[in-house]
Structure 1
Amino acid sequence: MLRSAANQEDGKRSDGRAIGRSSAGCCGRPEAVSSLIVSWSLGVSCGGAWCRVGRSITRTFSTPRRLRDLRHRSASDYAVTTQRNGVRTITLNDPSSRNSLSLEMLNVLLRDITKDQDATELRAIVVTGTPGQVFSAGHNLKQLTTAIGTDRHREIFSTCEKLMSAITASPVPVIAAVDGLAAAAGCQLVAACDIAMCTERSTFSTPGSNFGIFCSTPGVALVRNVPRKVAAWMLFTGLPISAHEAYEVGLVSKVVSPEDLAKEISIITDAILAKSRSVVTIGKKFLHEQIDLDLPTAYSLGTEIMVQSLKLKDSQEGLRSFIDKKKPVWTHGYEKEQ
């Protein structure tokens, strides 16, 4: 099933010049699944990143950038965030570095994931990259050299951990829309999202061992999404898997054509928008909470949540609407039925 090599073309810019080496790279710290205790109102150094592997390793390419120049860039140079009809879309916007998860990018993403997250108007978050090219090639390798220092390295991985944990803890579903390369911490970002959609031309890898950095923290998210032997194959070999292989092993939810990606994302978000926000939030918290529980404890917790949920106005509104064959009118809150 898994391929022994990847087919990735050397890139050129639109002006015909060869694209330079990327500083995007490997591991980060993800999805430490924080304990989401039920406490609702219910009562309960490298010049380039070596991404393609197989018979020959080929660089992923981008324009080199001095680290000191990063201080003078605005947030929109890293990500563009919009919100419309309850859906917040975060587009990674640093194609020259292959949308590397630099410290600056991580901070922008963390801010935009958590901003106004308790507002009723926010119903879903979509994270996407550069169409047809790259979702994210991983960490910025220039920020991982010894010249940067251990304290800075720890800050980078700590911020990445906060981002991945914030995705898990977000009260609304976070959806990855991938159309291209997702490598190392970029693959980790996909794994951390609740739902992941990708195009047929997308690829996924954790190639850190190719350039001396084992993808330890991307592996945390990866092994929680795919079978252990698949995760080991990806982590030890650095070899990529295709979009369809990613679907087969459970890394992504669905594979579509590039032309259909936007439509499929709309189908998902429309379905979420049709639900009570509070019900979706309760469901997401339980989904993540029960994963690490033993079976009896998970069922016990699930039973209590369902019993307590039936006290909510929105739960009773949904039941009445189904029985009466009418469209429900949600409060999106946690008020209990009197």
Structure 2
Amino acid sequence: MSDDLLLRADDGGIATLTLNAPGSLNALSDAMLAALKAEFARLAEDNATRVVILNGAGKAFCAGHDLKEMQAGRAAEDKGRAYFADLFARCAEVMQMIPALPQPVIAEVHGIATAAGCQLVASCDMAVAAEGTRFGVNGVNIGLFCSTPMVALSRNVPRKIAFEMLTTGEFIDTARAADIGLVNRVVPSQTLGAETRALAETVAGKLSAAVKIGKRAFYDQIEMTRAAAYDHAASVMVENMLWRDTEEGIAAFIEKRKPDWS
């Protein structure tokens, strides 16, 4: 990984990735995006990892793009047009890798998650937030509408709330974030790590192959019409039902014993 810019710790089938640039509030710099892309690519081929936790070092989860880097990009002859196009394309690629991963990804959020940092939370499959965390897509406050963060945000929360956040640049607290569905759980800051780990362990304890096929089907069907979604989901369930481990799991439930999964 890029000079420890992104840390990884593995334990019990759970991989914890830590954004490790506390001095910039874990901004999504060019190097950070590259590190995330490389690690997500490794996880996509990692059959041993069942769940991924994504958190941030220091006093914040992620403050979004590195504005100093972005301003430096203006020095190019085209005033930064090519750099900005490439930056937002690379960021979009990284964000889309998260739902495409076979493992569920849980954001463990504290401090702030702003702009592309809020986009990162919205791109994860689940999120646990410490009390007092603030969320915002606040680019409009500096004259930059958060158009790419809007994509993930508007697929997580009701559209009128997303639009309000995008146009006012106002922050929301954890209670509001939970109410609108941006995060799953709000916990005391001192138990954030333990609570996130407990959720990860619950998911990791399920039949991994079933969770993987289910995650893929979940995102596939969201993009379909209702009828097509039912057709697709039914075909996935048929495939799932024919597995040996699923047959064993159902038999174990009926017989009131623990399944002997392979």
Q: How would you bin the TM-score normalised by the shorter chain?
A: over 0.9
Counterpart residue number, 1:134: 60
Counterpart residue number, 1:153: 84
CA distance in 2, matches of 1:279, 1:202: 33
Counterpart residue number, 1:11: none
Structure 2 letter corresponding to 1:302: A
State the secondary structure of the residue aligned to 1:214. Answer: coil
Counterpart residue number, 2:260: 329
Per mean C-alpha deviation after superposition, the further-off stretch among 257-266 and 168-177 is 257-266
- Superposed CA deviations along residues 65-84 of structure 1, whole A, max 9, x for unmatched, are xxxxxxxxx71442211111
Counterpart residue number, 1:192: 123
Within the candidate set 92, 115, 124, 2:42 is matched to 115
Distance 1:313 1:270, change over 3 A: same
Query: Contact between 1:178 and 1:197, CA under 8 Å: does it hold in 2?
Result: yes
Greater C-alpha Rg: 1
Structure 2 letter corresponding to 1:185: A
Query: Contact between 2:26 and 2:62, CA under 8 Å: does it hold in 1?
Result: yes
Aligned positions of 1:276-295 closer than 5 A: 276-295=207-226
Structure 1 letter corresponding to 2:75: A
1:301 to partner: Cα distance: 1.3
Within the candidate set 75, 93, 100, 2:27 is matched to 100
State the secondary structure of the residue aligned to 2:246. Answer: helix
Query: Contact between 2:43 and 2:101, CA under 8 Å: does it hold in 1?
Result: no
State the secondary structure of the residue aligned to 1:115. Answer: helix
1:299 to partner: Cα distance: 1.2
State the secondary structure of the residue aligned to 1:83. Answer: strand
Counterpart residue number, 1:38: none
Within the candidate set 9, 12, 15, 1:88 is matched to 15
1:130 to partner: Cα distance: 2.8
CA distance in 2, matches of 1:81, 1:152: 29
CA RMSD of aligned residues (A): 1.3
1:118 to partner: Cα distance: 3.0
CA distance in 2, matches of 1:84, 1:114: 19
CA distance in 1, matches of 2:87, 2:94: 11
Structure 1 letter corresponding to 2:41: T
Counterpart residue number, 1:28: none
Query: Contact between 1:234 and 1:240, CA under 8 Å: does it hold in 2?
Result: yes
1:168 partnered with 2:122: no
CA distance in 2, matches of 1:96, 1:77: 13
Structure 1 letter corresponding to 2:34: N
Percent of aligned pairs with the same amino acid:
39
Q: Which has the higher contact order (CA 8 A, sep 6+)?
A: 1
1:256 to partner: Cα distance: 0.5
State the secondary structure of the residue aligned to 1:309. Answer: helix
CA distance in 2, matches of 1:104, 1:195: 25
Aligned positions of 1:1-338 closer than 5 A: 75-130=2-57, 133-145=59-71, 146-147=74-75, 149-331=80-262
- Superposed CA deviations along residues 81-113 of structure 1, whole A, max 9, x for unmatched, are 111111111111111111100111011011112
TM (norm. structure 1) is 0.73
Which has a greater percent of helix? 2
State the secondary structure of the residue aligned to 1:121. Answer: coil
How many residue pairs were aligned? 257
- Superposed CA deviations along residues 145-195 of structure 1, whole A, max 9, x for unmatched, are 212522222222111111111101000001100011000000000000000
Structure 2 letter corresponding to 1:261: L
Structure 2 letter corresponding to 1:195: M
TM (norm. structure 2) is 0.94
1:330 to partner: Cα distance: 2.4
Query: Contact between 1:120 and 1:277, CA under 8 Å: does it hold in 2?
Result: no
CA distance in 1, matches of 2:257, 2:236: 26
Query: Contact between 1:102 and 1:156, CA under 8 Å: does it hold in 2?
Result: no
1:116 to partner: Cα distance: 4.1
State the secondary structure of the residue aligned to 1:161. Answer: helix
1:233 to partner: Cα distance: 0.7
Query: Contact between 1:317 and 1:328, CA under 8 Å: does it hold in 2?
Result: yes
